[in-house]
């Protein structure tokens, strides 16, 4: 028994030395990969097995985001009271169960029900994970640690569309099985972390402010009070309206109107995800964009142009190039909201929940409205809808950034 205890203590010491990233980064990868497989796999599954309309598919995709948003906004006290590792463990268990239960559903109504529960379950995952990872980190170091985190989940989004397309061509149910299997692996990995890792003090999950450096405290206070989070949050909404169309509506259009195979659609989305990941790496290694308004507006404007160009593209390689640029814009919009939202905050989980909720607002709007427009008008009208949303978002960002600049000037000492 003493030998077993010594071995277990050795494992705990080893894990403690590795730090929390050893479980957070893989958990982010497996969850993003599992959800990506399920998202694209269910597009084909609902269309072929239940003959779902484009509007129904859009509603299905948005339901996950809607219940996820409700969870993010309603579970704030739970995030503060329960250790992140236990919330993450619960999330991975529930996600495994309800993703696989979709295959047992006798009708589309039950699938919608399971999708809603799944979305709410994942709200126990991302905000606590982000809050846990970023506790006590600020400035350039925050950008670096968030870059590693974003790369981890992005790798899951790179592999999942290709796997979903490839597996769907073999059998429509295979992506859903693979999604459940990946989440099951995730559950056991987190369970091992909970069992073997040393206890974490709640104080370690809170941002630490140095008492010895007045300059550091002032900098943290400035970051905590930065108003640039508001244009950044505006940008993530409009950015993910366009992203939702690419993730949920474009695959149907590419398969049914452009004549692409499922695997070709998966490769296109893989290219987009790969470029997004590379953009996350570059943004994480640089700091030129920190607290800079111009790059937010430039990213929105570029995305606006790219979505407009989509109207005229039908070639695989031209679509791949345009989707690559869209991938860069998605990374910029996401990272801006994420970084400027949590920088300096004393309640990282709450700020992360706001980021996730606003992102979900964009996904719900893009998936539902985009699906309805495609059903009743055309895909061209869907792209025009995205362009108009991005134009409105860019104008709002310009107004907010000008307001922030005036506020900063008025705060300067005379």
| pLDDT tops 90 at residue 405 | no
Closest CA to 182 of 162, 152, 160, 205: 160
Q: What is the pLDDT of residues 22-50, one digit of tens each?
A: 889 999 999 999 999 999 999 999 999 99
Residue 3 CA to residue 382 CA, distance in Å, equals 65
Tens of pLDDT, residue by residue over 148-158, are 888 898 889 88
The answer to whether 66 and 360 are in contact (CB under 8 A) is yes
What's the first-to-final CA gap in the chain, in angstroms?
Answer: 71
Per-residue pLDDT tens for 240-294?
Answer: 999 999 998 999 999 999 999 999 999 999 999 899 989 988 888 887 888 888 9
Band of the pLDDT at 139, cuts 50, 70, 90? low
Nearest to 41, CA basis, from 173, 132, 199: 173
Question: How far is 59 from 65, CA to CA, in rounded Å?
Answer: 10
Give the mean model confidence (pLDDT) for residues 161-172.
92
pLDDT exceeds cutoff 70 at 336: yes
What is the predicted pLDDT for the residue at 81? 86
> Residue 217: what pLDDT?
38
Altogether, the residues listed in the chain come to a count of 414
- Per mean pLDDT, which of 110-114, 367-371, 399-403 is the most reliable? 110-114
Q: Place 198 in a pLDDT band, splitting at 50, 70 and 90.
A: low
Sorted by sequence, the CB contacts under 8 Å of residue 249 that are 6+ apart come out as 54, 57, 58, 366, 367, 370, 371, 374, 379, 382
pTM passes above 0.85: no
Q: What percent of the chain has pLDDT over 90?
A: 54
State pLDDT tens for residues 45-58.
999 999 998 889 98
Q: How far apart are CA 85 and CA 78, in angstroms?
A: 13
Neighbour-count burial for 355-383, b at 16+ CB within 10 Å, e otherwise: bbbbbbbbbbbbbbbbbbbbbeeebeebb
Mean pLDDT of 74-102: 90
Which CATH architecture describes the domain 2-194+216-411?
Up-down Bundle (1.20)
What does the alpha-carbon distance between residue 204 and residue 407 come to, in Å, rounded to a whole number?
Answer: 34
* Residues 339/284, Cβ–Cβ less than 8 Å: no
The CA-atom distances, in angstroms, between 186 and each of 25, 94, 125, 183, 391 are: 11, 12, 12, 5, 40
Asked if pLDDT for residue 211 goes beyond 50, the answer is: no
Mean of per-residue pLDDT scores for the chain: 84
């Amino acid at each position: 028994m003493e030998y077993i205890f010594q071995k277990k203590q050795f494992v705990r010491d080893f894990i403690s030395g590795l730090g929390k990233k050893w479980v957070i980064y893989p958990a982010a990868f497996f969850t993003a990969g599992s959800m990506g497989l399920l998202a694209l796999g269910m597009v084909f599954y609902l269309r072929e097995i239940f003959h779902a309309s484009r509007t129904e598919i859009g509603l299905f995709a948005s339901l996950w985001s809607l219940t996820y948003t409700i969870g993010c906004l309603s579970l704030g006290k739970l995030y503060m009271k329960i250790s992140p590792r236990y919330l993450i463990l619960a999330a991975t268990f529930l996600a495994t169960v309800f993703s696989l239960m979709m295959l047992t559903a006798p009708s589309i109504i039950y699938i919608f029900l399971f999708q809603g529960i799944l979305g709410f379950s994942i709200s126990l995952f991302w905000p606590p994970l982000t809050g846990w990872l970023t506790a006590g980190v600020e400035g350039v170091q925050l950008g670096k640690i968030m870059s590693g985190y974003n790369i981890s989940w992005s790798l899951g989004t790179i592999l999942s569309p290709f796997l979903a397309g490839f597996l769907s061509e073999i059998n429509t149910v295979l992506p859903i099985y693979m999604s459940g299997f990946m989440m099951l692996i995730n559950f056991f990995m987190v369970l091992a972390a909970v069992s073997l890792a040393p206890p974490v003090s709640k104080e370690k999950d809170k941002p630490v402010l140095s008492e010895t450096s007045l300059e550091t405290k002032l900098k943290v206070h400035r970051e905590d009070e930065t108003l640039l989070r508001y244009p950044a949050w505006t940008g993530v909404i409009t950015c993910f309206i366009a992203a939702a169309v690419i993730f949920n509506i474009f695959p149907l259009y590419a398969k049914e109107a452009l004549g692409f195979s499922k695997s070709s659609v998966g490769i296109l989305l893989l290219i987009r995800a790969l470029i997004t990941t590379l953009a996350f790496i570059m943004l994480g290694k640089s700091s030129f964009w920190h607290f800079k308004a111009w790059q937010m507006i430039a990213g929105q404007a570029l995305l606006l142009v790219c979505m407009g160009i989509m109207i005229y593209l039908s070639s695989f390689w031209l679509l791949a190039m345009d989707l690559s640029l869209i991938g860069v814009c998605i990374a910029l919009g996401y990272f801006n909201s994420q970084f400027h939202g949590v920088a300096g905050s004393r309640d990282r989980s709450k700020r992360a929940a706001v980021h996730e909720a606003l992102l979900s607002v964009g996904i719900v709007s893009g998936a539902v409205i985009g699906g309805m427009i495609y059903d009743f008008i055309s895909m061209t009208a869907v792209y025009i809808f995205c362009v108009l949303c991005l134009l409105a978002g860019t104008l709002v960002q310009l107004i907010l950034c000008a307001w922030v600049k005036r506020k900063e000037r008025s705060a300067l000492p005379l």
